[in-house]
Amino acid sequence: MSVVSLLGVNVLNNPAKFGDSYQFEITFECLETLQKDLEWKLTYVGSATSDEHDQELDTLLVGPIPVGVNKFIFEADPPNTSRIPDAEILGVTVILLTCAYDSREFVRVGYYVNNEYDSDELNADPPPKPILEKVRRNILAEKPRVTRFAIKWDSDASAPAEFPPDQPEADLVADGEEYGAEEAEEEEEEELVEGAEAAADPDAMVQDSEMAVADVDPATAADDDEDAGSEDLEAESSGSEDEELEEEEDAEGDGDEAMEVDGGEKPNGAGDAVGHQHADAVMAH
């Protein structure tokens, strides 16, 4: 929490001539008694491309600071035009109003400033060398950019959270004893696991192969053998179709039972031959 809070800034002489002084009415609140003064500073940004032309217009120390709401007027001189490039005098620039405690900045207020001639003719056709007497500045006081920073004030309790607390117990153990201890343990565990896998039973692969052979279904193997030789059998059956017809005619006189058996085998053999011929044609394509 900030001990000093900026409540408001009022730009008094605005707009004004380029050579007039800057005047700000500043209001702030102090929550506790401070041991040191507040340092207020006004900076003029002379160039948008380089900070070499920035000018510190004025610095003001305010103190001792009573607890409560305080108000004062901060007046600063105009910038030195000899330190500003001629091409940077006209146009838009920036002024920065900052406040610090014990050389630690805790608030910054930025304003855009527009510098232009007081006549339309000069603005439409500006001379190569700026005429400073006819240049007027206009501070955009309605749109300030306020930035606050957390700092340490008089007490250590007011230090911001980004400062880590002291850890004296951390220095009791040497860094060499703790550094990389967890990584070393993990590497040892990985080596043990790899060693256990390498020392596995060598007969396990043999047992697995025997189990794989034992798991083969004899009926499935028989079916596979029949499928492998079915093509030859069917080819033979299709090639001896005339002989089967002659045998069936001779078997008609042996009885009705033999006719039923021969009649049931004939369609099956012919159907299988047709089905295999179609499958071979599809595979060939």
More confident residue, 212 or 201: 201
Grade residue 50 by pLDDT with cuts at 50, 70 and 90.
confident
Residues 140 and 261 in one domain: no
Query: Of 142, 158, 174, which residue constitutes the final position of a domain?
Result: 158
Q: Where are the beta strands (DSSP E) in the chain?
A: 4-11, 16-17, 22-30, 38-45, 55-62, 68-76, 91-101, 104-117, 135-139, 145-148
Distances (CA, A) of 67 to 31, 64, 96, 154: 6, 10, 26, 14
Per-residue pLDDT tens digits for 56-67: 999 999 988 999
pLDDT value at 230 more than 50:
no
pLDDT value at 182 more than 50:
yes
Query: Of 118, 134, 158, which residue constitutes the final position of a domain?
Result: 158
**Total domains in the fold of the chain:** 2
C-alpha to C-alpha distance for 241 and 233, rounded to whole angstroms: 12
Residues 154 and 260 in one domain: no
pLDDT value at 101 more than 80:
yes
Burial 250-283, CB ≥16 within 10 A → b, else e: eeeeeeeeeeeebeeeeeeeeebbeeeeeeeeee
Comparing 45-49, 170-174, 179-183, 257-261, the range with the smallest average pLDDT is: 257-261
What six digits make up the tokens of 104?
């630690």
Per-residue pLDDT tens digits for 158-180: 566 554 555 555 555 555 555 55
Residues 42 and 151 in one domain: yes
Residues 232 and 136 in one domain: no
Give the three-state DSSP class for 109. Answer: strand
What is the per-residue pLDDT for 224? 52
Rg (CA), the chain: 51
By CB atoms closer than 10 A (0-12, 13-18, 19+), residue 130 is buried
Contact 119, 133 (CB under 8 A): no
What is the pTM assigned to this prediction? 0.55
Whether residue 198 is contained in a domain is answered as no
Residues 118 and 231 in one domain: no
Residues 220 and 80 in one domain: no
Nearest to 86 by CA among 29, 126, 57, 33: 126
Query: Of 143, 158, 173, which residue constitutes the final position of a domain?
Result: 158
Residues 133 and 223 in one domain: no
Contact 48, 24 (CB under 8 A): no
For the ranges 101-105, 196-200, 234-238, 245-249, the one whose mean pLDDT is highest: 101-105
Whether residue 192 is contained in a domain is answered as no
pLDDT value at 131 more than 70:
yes
Q: Which domain holds residue 258?
A: 206-284
Residues 234 and 105 in one domain: no
Whether residue 100 is contained in a domain is answered as yes
For the ranges 84-88, 190-194, 200-204, the one whose mean pLDDT is highest: 84-88
pLDDT value at 216 more than 80:
no
C-alpha to C-alpha distance for 66 and 249, rounded to whole angstroms: 134
Whether residue 154 is contained in a domain is answered as yes
What is the per-residue pLDDT for 201? 55
Nearest to 101 by CA among 155, 152, 163: 152
The HSE-up count of residue 246 (CA atoms within 13 Å, CB side) is 4
- Tell me whether the omega of the peptide bond preceding residue 85 falls within 30 degrees of 0, making it cis: no
**CATH number, position 14:** 2.60.40.1490
More confident residue, 270 or 31: 31
C-alpha to C-alpha distance for 278 and 268, rounded to whole angstroms: 16
Whether residue 124 is contained in a domain is answered as yes
CB atoms within 10 A of CB 139: 19
Whether residue 246 is contained in a domain is answered as yes
